[in-house]
Structure 1
Amino acid sequence: MNPRPAPTTVVRWPDRARPDRRGPAGLLAAYHLRTQAEKGEAVAGVDDLPERYRAEVADPRTAFAGDVVLLAVAGDTDLGCMVLTAPADGVAEIKRLWTDPAHRGRGVASALVRAALAEAAASGVATLRLSVWDWRGDAIALYERLGFVPAASHDPRPRLLYMSRPV
């Protein structure tokens, strides 16, 4: 019989209560490597990622200075991550939402998005937006379930969908 997995909690990173926590670097690496492959631009490893993505993996604290980095954790295991950008003109953006594939189907992504909504509300944000590749049907369905609707594009890359919702 398999033991029940530890409950998922969402914490801000860096976590003052757990300064030993590794942080999002490994999760960000997996996110960027998978995304590059899905875009048809597979790379051998982190060192071959575009510079802006390598910088996020190498030093997430600097890359996301001023933003809120959220980690979904269960015990000592990091299950997923997300970045909530610093508010600008009443708008914040969800970026880099990633759940380790071994932990999908457990509500990790939903917990991260709900935590982002709570963080945004506490910061006085009026609108939360995000972008998602059109081939990520499961992610799009999650966002729709959580009240996000299609929004106007602010990035010219093809196949990138935009969604938003009031906070």
Structure 2
Amino acid sequence: MTDQGEVHVVRWPDRDASTEGGPAGLLTAYHLRTQAEKGEAVGDAAELPDRYRAEVLDPRTSFVDDVVLMALSGDTAVGCLVVTAPVGGRCEVKRLWTDPAFRGRGVASTLVDAALAQAAESGAHTVRLSVWKWRAPAIALYERLGFAVVESWDERDQLVCMERAV
């Protein structure tokens, strides 16, 4: 049984951490849940849209220029987040996901804090993200962490765009 105590964040892939399978399982859960919330539920990863299926099947290639952060409890991956490489002084946070069994324990906050540190280390001055309007708990989390709603840079309906300085 996994110790559900302290959670720590590592970069993936990380030779020092036992993160077999990497973020694939977490990304699968994220995308399946998102598709269902959009009213486009699919049965498994094989039915995901091509773009998202690629992330699940080969995250190393999909995020080759980005930093993938994983929250671990013991050697079990319980959360993930992707920080894009900076462009024009901005990084983007995407794919924040916490295993439902570990929610309410600060995993998401810890991942976002690590993402902000990563962005600063990479020379970014701003971190941005987009989140679906119906994910009110996520929006509240981001606001508690200093993000503010800004004008959308994405044309998708019901997407909330947020930013904060590093």
Are 1:102 and 2:101 an aligned pair?
yes
Gaps of 5+ in 1: none
Amino acid at match of 1:66: D
Instruction: Mark the CA change 1:109 to 1:95 in structure 2 (over 3 Å): closer, same or farther.
Output: same
CA distance in 1, matches of 2:4, 2:85: 33
CA distance in 2, matches of 1:58, 1:14: 15
Question: 1:94-125 CA distances to partner (integer Å, 9 max, x unpaired)?
Answer: 00000011110000000000000000111110
In structure 2, the residue matched to 1:12 is 11
Gaps of 5+ in 2: none
CA distance in 1, matches of 2:77, 2:145: 23
CA shift at 1:154, angstroms?
1.0
CA distance in 1, matches of 2:59, 2:21: 11
CA distance in 1, matches of 2:20, 2:8: 14
In structure 2, the residue matched to 1:125 is 124
Contact residue 18 and residue 75 of structure 2 kept, 8 A:
no
In structure 2, the residue matched to 1:56 is 55
Amino acid at match of 1:26: G
Amino acid at match of 1:147: G
Contact residue 85 and residue 93 of structure 1 kept, 8 A:
yes
Contact residue 14 and residue 23 of structure 1 kept, 8 A:
yes
CA distance in 2, matches of 1:105, 1:21: 25
CA shift at 1:4, angstroms?
6.8
Query: 2:160 is paired with a residue of what secondary structure?
Result: strand
Contact residue 10 and residue 17 of structure 2 kept, 8 A:
no
Q: Please identify runs of 4+ aligned residues in structure 1 that moved more than 3 A.
A: none
CA shift at 1:52, angstroms?
0.4
Contact residue 84 and residue 116 of structure 1 kept, 8 A:
yes
What TM-score do the two structures reach when normalised by structure 1? 0.96
CA shift at 1:45, angstroms?
0.8
CA distance in 1, matches of 2:56, 2:88: 28
RMSD between aligned residues: 1.3
Contact residue 15 and residue 21 of structure 1 kept, 8 A:
no
CA distance in 2, matches of 1:75, 1:146: 26
Instruction: Mark the CA change 1:155 to 1:15 in structure 2 (over 3 Å): closer, same or farther.
Output: same
CA distance in 1, matches of 2:73, 2:3: 11
CA distance in 2, matches of 1:20, 1:156: 35
Amino acid at match of 1:94: V
